[in-house]
Structure 1
Amino acid sequence: MATNNQTSQENIFSLFKKAVLGKEQDFTTGSIKKAIFMLSIPMILEMLMESIFALVDIIFVSRVSVNAVATVGLTESVLTLVYALAIGLSMAATAVVARRTGEKDSKGANEAAVQIIFLGIGVSILISVVGILFPKEILQLMGGEPNLIEEGFGYTQVLLGGNVTVMLLFLINAIFRGAGNASIAMWTLILSNGLNLILDPIFIFGLGPVPAYGVEGAAIATTTGRGVAVIAQLLVLFFGVGKIKITVKDLVLKAGVMFNLLKVSLGGIGQFLIGTSSWVFLMRIMSEFGSEILAGYTIAIRIIMFTMMPTWGMSNAAATLVGQNLGAQQPDRAEKSVWVTSKYCAYFMGFVSVIYMVFAPIFLGWFSTNPEVVNYGALCLQIITAGYVAYAYGMVIIQSFNGSGDTKTPTYINLVCFWLFQLPLAYLLAVNLNWGPTGVFIAITLAEVLIAVVGIWLFRKGKWKTIKV
């Protein structure tokens, strides 16, 4: 028995090593469980890297001033537009590249990669012009006070002016994921995060000949770290070992391919905007109940988002598997990949749910000593995570639609479940029926359960298998 366990552990370690190093790239044959593992590991690590990025910035910036932290918050709100465009385009990139990869059409995959990069650069140039010329006006529009604007406009100018690094980092990593090269996407974010961690204190507080730029230094460090990572991505695309290999002759505008990518991306952009706007309205409802309750809710949501990273990684793996297997004319294998991934996600989320049910007050106590903050934050954590198993299925199903190129269906699901169900129910329960914050928490949980139910129902109909991209 000990020998069998040891062999099993060695096999898991060997697979983990292969996943991180990107040793396996064909996911249209062989074990589906192995394919999920090989894709999920680097994608989960990639998601964790993305969350650490924001955490590092806020840790250093918080030592500058209150205005500096507020500047970061206001600028990040504006950057939501950039993220929406980048995420929508990245969904299209993953779907199309995965489909061409499954079809063994390397030329088509290369064409899609080039056109998505052109699109990203074009969109980011427009945003850069606005960010460079009008940083003070942007902060003023967001409600920034005069002293905040004077201290922080440089941060906004650098971050929005250099938004091409955000855009390309998202898009090229989506290309890698679609091709099955998830480990390359992971390593570029590790490089970006590592540089950001080193450069943040240097540019914010100064070191040797480098002056102290204050909050603007955080933007310089972030943009530099992302910029170096983008250069590394481009080097891999042109000279690396991945499935996508671009040459100079590929750098030609192809209107048909670009239009197809734009068409697929619109649904992804819509999904993100619907989701983020619904959270803004929920935050507005929560603000009616006082700053302590709002603080508890904010902390609980941050904890929830962090523990969702593994499920996000597995959901992205499912999207790649769907795209590649549809391209390989194996719709049944694509569907089976989704159900197996959903099952693993449900196991993980169910385990986490039990942990939160028992230890929620302890987790909140790590972030605040205020009894009301801890009580309502713990209540939020317990109610919302009660639906974690449903979330697992919902997240995988939604990403699987996107992976097939059907970005419209998830957009309609989000529109109905968030805007037409969640928001009215949250207001009804919390305000009209005087349930207070508990009403908001229940509405969030029920909406996510509804997404899972509707998503599974539509997924079983199988229309996604017929989508052409």
Structure 2
Amino acid sequence: MSNSAKLTQGSTFKHVVSMSLMGALGLMCMFVVDLVDMLFLSMLGEKEAVAAVGFSSAILFFTISLSIAVSIAATALVSKAIGEGDIELAKRRAVNVLAFGIFFSSAVVWLMWPKIPNILLFVGATGRTLDLATGYLQILVLGMPAVMISMIGSGIMRALGDARRAMYATLIGGLINAVLDPIFIFAFGLGVQGAAIASLLARFSMIAVSYYGVVYVHKMLGEFDLMDFFKDAKSITVVAVPVMLTNMSSPLANAIVMAHTSTFGDDAVAAVAVIGRIIPVVFGGVFALSGAVGPILGQNYGAGRFDRMHSTISSAVIYAFGYCMVLCIILYQMQDWLVDVFNATQGSADLIRFFATFVSFSFFFQSLLFISIAAFNNLGKPLNSTLLNFGRATFGTWPLIVVFSLFMGAEGILFGQAIGSVIFGCLGLYMARNYITQLEKKETKDMVSSRPINFDELI
């Protein structure tokens, strides 16, 4: 076994916590900048600007989800090769996933850019909000290839167990964004477009950080060979496409929620936009679980350590419960401060308080879904992740928010989402545990059937 497979040794709980917290720092930095964007734009005293970013976020989450999907493919394929001790195969897969990501993201930008106004109309943006959202989104979408490259680089480093360097790309990108935001928004007087330009420049800065970690520190990129790329294309696609579909379901759910929220007016849309910025900052440690659990499972699967795979799932659940308990209490205590900071109107403030008081702990159950998705993506059943996440995005979202909003108004939208998270989180965890048990039984059976017959044992 290669010494690089360090996730096959030591405490699984320690690996889950360290990998999750490192990933969370990077994610939270990125989302803190989004939160600061919203804060700066709210200072303009124009609720259409805040609503515009809210509508744009539903679409941007779609593009980011595609990038995350390809990075998950990189993590799954590279971590398994590392667990098997095949470093050359890991390097070959790393460079080929990177090439796949560059081609794919460029194609998405080319297809999506001219259709942005129509997409925003579909999710409910109108009037000045539509104009502001269109300008904001048309700038930021151009940065998708940069996000794709940096996320794939981070995925490769997570596959090696180097969560600290994987964090650096988003951390440094977020810091650059935070510095440029007030300059472009206020000093240059560009408002919403200034926020988009600052974010675009920050995303391109992330490439250099990821490239340095993968190429110069770990030396994990092999030479690109077109024939090798075609050989690996099937393996990449088998993982990446279902994961893309899985991740597309989250922006689909967000779009459904935003479209239904728009029927309650701009105050409700602004509140959901603020909550959408609060969630990743507060629950960054939960969102990072998939990126943390995946490489641990991948390396141990490659090494045949099923005992550690079971332990990893249990450790992740314990970590998620403790994390959510602490952060939900903090969020409850901070709700009035959040209302004041974002200059929320009475309608928006009521929704923010309702979320902090009654809905926030549902993210523990959503974390169970993240854990199960990581298991299926990294253990050869990405289609199960797709079915689970699409189930949550459709049956676990639209009918529930429609029914509960009839009785509870806009608050029913948040409550319906929470109920969907509880149902599909519990279902996903049960399926993931059962699947790992099946893999273990299959491995044991294959080992027994392939073992040479010892005739002395038969006497």
Q: What band does the TM-score fall into relative to the shorter chain?
A: 0.7 to 0.9
From 79, 91, 111, the counterpart of 1:110: 91
How far does the alpha carbon of each residue in 1:298-355 deviate from its partner, in whole angstroms, 9 at most, with x for none?
4344333322111222442112211111111112201211111211211221233345
- Structure 2 alignment gaps of length 5 or more: 443-459
Alignment partners' CA distance in 2, 1:300 and 1:44: 18
Pair 228,446 (structure 1): closer, same or farther in 2 beyond 3 Å:
closer
Alignment partners' CA distance in 1, 2:254 and 2:155: 25
- Does structure 2 conserve the Cα–Cα contact (< 8 Å) formed by 1:401 and 1:464? no
Aligned residue for 2:387?
412
Alignment partners' CA distance in 1, 2:131 and 2:416: 41
Pair 388,275 (structure 1): closer, same or farther in 2 beyond 3 Å:
closer
| Partner SS for 1:27 | helix
Aligned residue for 2:169?
188
From 185, 200, 205, the counterpart of 1:223: 200
Alignment length (residue pairs): 434
Alignment partners' CA distance in 2, 1:70 and 1:289: 13
Pair 229,305 (structure 1): closer, same or farther in 2 beyond 3 Å:
closer
| Partner SS for 1:245 | coil
Q: How does 1:230-249 map to 2 (within 5 A)?
A: 230-240=207-217, 242=218, 244-248=219-223
Q: How does 1:94-133 map to 2 (within 5 A)?
A: 94-130=75-111
Aligned residue for 1:44?
24
Q: How does 1:317-328 map to 2 (within 5 A)?
A: 317-328=292-303
Pair 440,74 (structure 1): closer, same or farther in 2 beyond 3 Å:
closer
2:415 equivalent to 1:442:
yes
Deviation at 1:152, TM superposition (A): 8.2
How far does the alpha carbon of each residue in 1:109-168 deviate from its partner, in whole angstroms, 9 at most, with x for none?
111111111111112222344577x4xx63366347898898887755543334211211
- Does structure 1 conserve the Cα–Cα contact (< 8 Å) formed by 2:42 and 2:343? no
Alignment partners' CA distance in 2, 1:153 and 1:370: 25
Deviation at 1:57, TM superposition (A): 4.0
Aligned residue for 1:396?
371
Aligned residue for 1:8?
none
2:308 equivalent to 1:333:
yes
Aligned residue for 2:145?
164
Aligned residue for 1:19?
none
Amino acid aligned to 2:83: G
Q: How does 1:288-307 map to 2 (within 5 A)?
A: 288-307=263-282
Pair 437,193 (structure 1): closer, same or farther in 2 beyond 3 Å:
closer
Aligned residue for 1:142?
120
Higher relative contact order (Cα pairs below 8 Å, separated by 6+ residues): 2
Alignment partners' CA distance in 1, 2:274 and 2:54: 15
Alignment partners' CA distance in 2, 1:396 and 1:162: 29
RMSD value, Cα: 3.5
Aligned residue for 2:179?
198
Aligned residue for 1:256?
231
From 388, 400, 403, the counterpart of 1:428: 403
Pair 233,343 (structure 1): closer, same or farther in 2 beyond 3 Å:
same
Aligned residue for 1:17?
none
Amino acid aligned to 2:349: V
Alignment partners' CA distance in 1, 2:348 and 2:40: 24
Deviation at 1:284, TM superposition (A): 3.0
Deviation at 1:222, TM superposition (A): 2.9
| Partner SS for 1:462 | helix
Alignment partners' CA distance in 1, 2:186 and 2:354: 39
Moved more, 262-271 or 349-358: 349-358
- Does structure 2 conserve the Cα–Cα contact (< 8 Å) formed by 1:383 and 1:441? no
**Structure 1 length as normaliser, TM-score?**
0.80
Alignment partners' CA distance in 1, 2:410 and 2:139: 38
Aligned residue for 1:16?
none
Aligned residue for 2:242?
267
Amino acid aligned to 1:450: I
Pair 64,181 (structure 1): closer, same or farther in 2 beyond 3 Å:
same
- Does structure 2 conserve the Cα–Cα contact (< 8 Å) formed by 1:394 and 1:449? no
Deviation at 1:450, TM superposition (A): 0.9
Deviation at 1:424, TM superposition (A): 1.2
Amino acid aligned to 1:139: P
Aligned residue for 1:54?
34
- Structure 1 alignment gaps of length 5 or more: 1-23
Amino acid aligned to 2:95: V
From 58, 61, 64, the counterpart of 1:83: 64
